[in-house]
Chains A and B, each alone.
Chain A
Amino acid sequence: MVITETLISAVILAVSAAFGSVIYMLMNDSVKSEKKKTLEALMSQFINLIIFIYIIKIILNLHIFLADPLAVLAYPSDSTVFYSAIVLTAFVIIYKNSKGKLDLKGFLDGMITLFLTSSMMYEFIYFLIYSDTSAFVYFLALAFIFLVFYVLYNRIIKKNLMITAVALWGVVIIILSAVYSTATVFDYTMRPWFAVLLAAGVILLILSAYGKFGEYDKKEVGR
Chain B
Amino acid sequence: MKKYIIITVVAGMLAWSFYEFFGSSANETGQEDAGLETGQAAPDFEVETLGGDTVKLSDYRGEPVIINFWATWCPPCRAEMPDFEKLHKEEDAVILAVNLTHSENNISGVSAFVDELGLTMPVLLDAEGSVEDSYQLSAYPTSYMIDSEGVTQYVVRGAINYETMYREYMALE
Contacts and interface: CB of A to CB of B under 8 A. Distances in A.
Nearest to B142: A4
A26 B2 contact: yes
B13 A124 contact: yes
A139 B5 CA distance: 19
Interface string A158-194: 0000000000000000000000011010011100000
Interface stretch (A76-84, A85-93, A104-112): A76-84
B26 to A, nearest CB: 13
B157 A5 contact: yes
B79 A27 contact: no
Contact of B164 (A71, A76, A140): A76
B7 to A, nearest CB: 8
Contacts of A74: 75-76, 79, 159
Interface string B1-45: 010011101100110110011001000000000000010000000
Interface residues of B, number: 33
B79 to A, nearest CB: 4
B160 A131 contact: no
A181 B9 CA distance: 31
A120 B138 CA distance: 30
Contacts of B112: none
Given A128-B20, A136-B21, A187-B164, 15 more contacts: A3-B138, A5-B160, A6-B159, A26-B5, A27-B6, A75-B80, A124-B16, A127-B17, A128-B16, A131-B24, A133-B21, A140-B17, A143-B13, A184-B167, A189-B163
Interface of B: 2, 5-7, 9-10, 13-14, 16-17, 20-21, 24, 38, 75-76, 78-80, 138-139, 154, 156-164, 167, 170
